[in-house]
Structure 1
Amino acid sequence: MTSPENRRITDLGTLKAISHPLRMRLYRALFVARTATASQLADQVDEAVSLVSYHLRKLADHGLIEEAENPSTDGRERWWRPSSYGVSVHDEDMRGAPELVAASDALGRTVNEQRVELHRRFLDERLTWSGEWRSASVSSEWLPRLTAAELAALGQELDTVLRKYDERARAAEAAGDTEGRENVAVHLHGFPYRP
């Protein structure tokens, strides 16, 4: 059963496994689908089923995904699901270990590149969405002056709000309320910078 908590990644092997660009795309696609087969995911990422199966097994080897119950009568299909609500990496777990810092940075870059590509695709396809969806989309930038503690608190509050909306939407969808629902990406970055 998928854990309702985020999986906190603290080891080098798991960081390297999830940092691979295709594995991150597969993990994200599986998170959205909730359960899927290698062939379903291969269609989404436009890769060979054998390659996708290999990378899914690597994610499973590190406990990031797990086998799911097979909802069909075809016993040949292997179904997968995320093993947790998501993943997280914390700076304090990387301190004093340069190899962990490097792997964490690689993961951050992979995730950011894929987020940018996802937003770029929305911008390119924006006019294919209804006016309602175009008006509902959000793009903003805030530049407050905060302390590290305030930024941490802000991040926790935003995480709580987003989780509430996600859990509410998942429950509604599980109850059959699928009308008008689309996959929505919400990307937040909060970090110090110097002008």
Structure 2
Amino acid sequence: MPSEETRRVSDLATLKAFGHPLRMKLYRALYIARSATASQLAEQVDEAVSLVSYHLRKLADHGLIEEAEQQGTDARERWWRPASHGLTFHDEDFRDAPEKAATHSAIGRLSFDQHIELYRRYLDSYRSWSDEWRSASFSSEFLGRLTAEELASLSREMHTLIRRYEDEGRAREESGDTEGRENVALHIYGFPFRT
């Protein structure tokens, strides 16, 4: 059973293991599916099953994913699932050495690039979504004047709210309420800037 807690990645080896573009995509796809085989994930990311299997094992070596209960009839297929409710990466865990800081920054940029690509795909397919989904989707920007403490508090409150919606949606889906349910991405950034 995966942990219901969010895992804080604080070591460089695990950060590097996660920081491969394909591994990040695989983790995201597995997080959404909750459990899947290498062949199912390979279809989603358009890569060879052998390559996907290799990268899944690397994620498992660092405890980011784990084997899941067999769900199909093919005993040769290994099922995988995330080992925790999610992952977090904090600056303070990687600032004590230049290599750590550089790796943390590089993975942050890679993650951001993947978020942009996901949103671009949505914009490119915007008209293919129903009026209901187009009306529900949003993009906004907040430009406020906050202290670091206020920004941290805002982050905690937003994460609590998002987690509540995610947990309620999963519970409803598991009880059979699947009508109209889609994968939803919500990318939130809070950072200081100077003009």
* TM-score > 0.5 by shorter chain: yes
Q: TM-score scaled to structure 2, two decimals? A: 0.99
SS of 1:88's equivalent? Answer: strand
Determine whether 1:23 maps to 2:23.
yes
- Report matched runs for 1:110-129 at 5 Å: 110-129=110-129
Gaps of 5+ in 1: none
State the partner residue of 2:87: 87
Question: How far apart are the structure 1 equivalents of 2:16 and 2:101?
Answer: 11
Q: Which amino acid aligns with 1:86?
A: G
State the partner residue of 1:77: 77
Count of residue correspondences: 195
- Report matched runs for 1:113-152 at 5 Å: 113-152=113-152
Q: Which amino acid aligns with 2:139?
A: S
- Report matched runs for 1:43-192 at 5 Å: 43-192=43-192
Question: How far apart are the structure 2 equivalents of 1:73 and 1:22?
Answer: 28
4+ aligned runs moved over 4 Å, structure 1: none
Determine whether 1:35 maps to 2:35.
yes
Question: How far apart are the structure 2 equivalents of 1:84 and 1:153?
Answer: 23
Question: How far apart are the structure 1 equivalents of 2:118 and 2:95?
Answer: 31
SS of 1:185's equivalent? Answer: coil
RMSD: 0.6
Identity of aligned residues (%): 66
Q: Deviations over 1:8-63 (max 9, x none)?
A: 11111111111100000000000000000000000000000000000000000010
Q: Which amino acid aligns with 1:32?
A: I
Return the offset for 1:73: 2.2
